[in-house]
Amino acid sequence: MAPHPDHRRPHRTAVTLADGRELYYYDDADSPLPAGRDRADARTLPPPPPASQLRYDPLLAEWVAVAAHRQSRTFLPPADQCPLCPSSAERRSEIPAADYQVAVFENRFPAFSGRLSDPGPAPTPYSPVAAGAGRCEVVCFTAEHDTSFAALTPRRVETVLAALADRTAALSADPAVAQVFCFENRGVEIGVTLHHPHGQIYAYPVLPPRAERMLDTARRHAEQTGGRNLYADVLAAERAAGVRVVAENPHWVAYVPAAARWPYEVHLAPTRQVPDLPALTEPELAALAPLYLDLLRRFDNLFDGAPAPYIAAWHQAPVHQDRQLGYLHLQVFTIRRAPGKLKYLAGSESAMGMFINDIAPEDAAAALRAATGVTNPDQR
């Protein structure tokens, strides 16, 4: 588990699903442990699929995962068929228990997996292949189907964050894992395939392109400045400017980046440099939860109360290299640019990677500051 005092550490219970995948329940430390934590998965399931195939793109020097088995994954089932709701006597889901607070399990349709097989021959001499080692996990934030992360209490958010820290630490211990990425996709506009409030964890076997590029620029900055951390310097500059800061407390700062790519994009960063979620202290976790919720509610308040489609992405330091260059931060952005209007990644963005933002970051920050989202921040 992450290094928090025992009185705040959630209960963790491990079980094995019918096909051999692992599931972990995380329950608030200060609440009674619900019954049924050891209930067996009574389903009959086929074996999990083997790992995907990685193919190297020689033109961009990037790896692409080919995971054809994901074509058969569950797609927007009705609420009474949701695989992330608790199991009942009438229907078995991915969660064997009749109730839970937070649950994490290995994805049934993973893009990356430890079940390795021969990746096969390279399609060309310029495109070598490799097995898609690693792991993909699903993080269920709550047993309630018709709710959202923003509706959780700060205490429950702490449990979710502690679960992410625990899984980050466990996955980082795998020598095949290069990067651990925790994220949430919310809204059909983003491309979610399950409405139940949930996030995911990807344990990549290679550094993904954005992480590798951020590491390269941070390394150059350190070399040019005598070892200074790039993100720490950027954060200090944003705090000094002030105009793009949305909210802050003694441990965290939420701001719109000066060169934001998305119409409404915010970074939520700790005021001290830490590499990843397991490195956060108890006071930092406690201070993060209400500010995180406040930020998400501000996003929802931007567009006449319509729930904002968003991606919330935790950027953590690489597992094995240059960890001193990393700086943990959460990136939250929405693709909605106005009521009823989405920001599509069309020709310039999709084909050339050159983003064109329709909203000045200073205006986005002002709008988010005005969209006050605090609701019972002390509820625990």
Q: Which residues are annotated as a binding site for Zn(2+)?
A: 82, 85, 145, 196
Query: Euclidean distance between the first and final Cα of the chain, in Å?
Result: 21
Burial of 260 (0-12, 13-18, 19+ CB in 10 A): buried
C-alpha span between 309 and 263 (Å, rounded): 12
Q: Are 268 and 291 in contact (CB under 8 A)?
A: yes
Catalytic residue among 4, 195, 198, 315: 198
Q: Are 64 and 140 in contact (CB under 8 A)?
A: no
Over 103-152, what HEC string results? EEEECCCCCCCCCCCCCCCCCECCECEEEECCEEEEEECCCCCCCCHHHC
- Known binding site: residues? 82, 85, 145, 196
The CA angle 20-41-87, to the nearest 5 degrees, is: 135
Burial of 36 (0-12, 13-18, 19+ CB in 10 A): middle
Active site residue 198: yes
The CA angle 147-152-155, to the nearest 5 degrees, is: 160
Please provide the DSSP assignment of 338-376 as one string.
Answer: ETTEE----IIIIIH-----SS-HHHHHHHHHHS---SS
Query: Residue with structure tokens 């489609």?
Result: 309
Residues with a catalytic annotation lie at 198
